[in-house]
Amino acid sequence: MKSIKINTAGGESVILMGGTVDDLRERLPAKGLYIITDTNVGRIYRDIFPKGEVLEIEAGEKSKTPQVVIDLCRRMLDAGADRSSFVLGFGGGVVCDIAGLTASLFMRGVRHAFVSTSLLSQIDASIGGKNGVNLGEYKNIIGTIRQPEFVLCDHNMLATLPEEEFLSGMGEMYKHAAIRDRNLFFDLSASADRIAARDPGILGDLILRSVRIKAAIVRRDPMENGIRRLLNFGHTFGHVLEIHYGMPHGVAVARGMVIAAELSAWTGEMPHAEYRLLSVEMEKAGLIREAELPPNVIGRIARDKKSEAGSVNFVLLRAVGKAIVRRLSLTDLQAFVNYYNERKDNSQSIQQGK
């Protein structure tokens, strides 16, 4: 087992890579443990849960509501929880978001940690302290940044993940490569067959490299005032697609990355050939779903939390492996969306021989 430490003013968070639940004994309290999980994870892993009160929620993004968090606080209170209680989120990205937020709010904050069961959460969602729930169609509008004491990533749990969930995690892995590590990007492409076969050796190595990228960024900027914004690459359009089409998060982000790369070429920040490289390789990895941009995409982006006073901090690429943040006006973004939709309409008419 390897460990990666993230030290911030808010405390130390340790990512335990490749361990198992047996490695947690000394890290968990003997009593006062509240395990938040979902119906799917509970069914598979209940037998190996540490000793504690199990609080189950419905599986899926639809559980990411303020009401579910309030209900969990009520259930903890009814079960006798107090300020010395410890919350263990046991599940994928949705469970980690909800458990982290519940722990942050219950009695103004109790200790918490995660056992991360999906590729998406082992690479991204459980790491870095962001916890959030959605407000209607707006993602993660209500949340906190508070580091978990530890995150256990047991890679054996990835063998049984449904394909869409696995791909969703791969989307975030490509994101880390695209923003910071060109070599990782090429290694992902070169290892495509072993990744598809879920070879634990190669996966363990790639997850470790990916998490090191995220950990290095979070250490420098835990509260997202600067460099952490790079981790939002692909998310501005991705969030809109995720909500509109109900796509898995990382798959929507992958589509959002390709759109953001095209925007990077359109604004002149990146050569067109780099956009082609990113889109071709991600398509080969099975990550690219054709998806029209929904109507009023700019209106939706304007209400996203990344927007301020008529403009957005948008993550663009200079090259595959090097991201930057640029302030773009919503007017310029609308011009790009017009170009994007027109280009798509034209290519569809050509394919249909119109």
Contact 39, 60 (CB under 8 A): no
Pick between residue 213 and residue 288 the one whose CB is nearest to ligand GLY. Answer: 213
Q: Shortest approach of ligand GLY to residue 110 CB, angstroms?
A: 22
Pick between residue 111 and residue 229 the one whose CB is nearest to ligand GLY. Answer: 229
Q: Shortest approach of ligand GLY to residue 224 CB, angstroms?
A: 6
Closest C-alpha among 250, 226, 220 to residue 238: 250
Pick between residue 69 and residue 231 the one whose CB is nearest to ligand GLY. Answer: 231
Q: Shortest approach of ligand GLY to residue 129 CB, angstroms?
A: 8
The kind and range of the H/E element at 94 are helix 93-105
Contact 36, 95 (CB under 8 A): yes
Q: Shortest approach of ligand GLY to residue 107 CB, angstroms?
A: 25
Report the C-alpha gap between 246 and 55 in whole angstroms.
Answer: 26
Residue 38's alpha-carbon distances to 41, 43, 303, in angstroms, are 5, 8, 30
E strand map for 23-172: 33-38, 53-57, 86-91, 111-116, 130-135, 138-145, 150-153
Pick between residue 217 and residue 291 the one whose CB is nearest to ligand GLY. Answer: 217
Q: Shortest approach of ligand GLY to residue 130 CB, angstroms?
A: 5
E strand map for 161-283: none
Pick between residue 37 and residue 147 the one whose CB is nearest to ligand GLY. Answer: 147
Tell me, what DSSP letter sits at residue 294?
Answer: P
Pick between residue 53 and residue 221 the one whose CB is nearest to ligand GLY. Answer: 221
Pick between residue 229 and residue 277 the one whose CB is nearest to ligand GLY. Answer: 229
How many residues make up the chain in this entry?
A: 354
Phi/psi-derived region of residue 179, left when phi > 0, alpha when psi is between -120 and 50, beta in every other case? alpha
The residue ranges that bind ligand GLY (CB under 6 A) are 124, 128, 130, 228, 231
Q: Name the residue number minimizing CB distance to ligand GLY.
A: 231
Pick between residue 32 and residue 250 the one whose CB is nearest to ligand GLY. Answer: 250
**Which residue is it, tokens 């256990």?**
152
Handedness of CA 256, 257, 260, 265 (dihedral sign): negative
Tell me, what DSSP letter sits at residue 290?
Answer: P
| 80: Cα within 13 Å, side-chain hemisphere | 6
Residue 43's SS3 state is helix
Report the C-alpha gap between 89 and 129 in whole angstroms.
Answer: 13
Pick between residue 128 and residue 321 the one whose CB is nearest to ligand GLY. Answer: 128
Q: Shortest approach of ligand GLY to residue 231 CB, angstroms?
A: 4
Closest C-alpha among 70, 118, 111, 75 to residue 95: 118
Q: Shortest approach of ligand GLY to residue 35 CB, angstroms?
A: 23
Q: Shortest approach of ligand GLY to residue 232 CB, angstroms?
A: 6
Q: Shortest approach of ligand GLY to residue 131 CB, angstroms?
A: 10
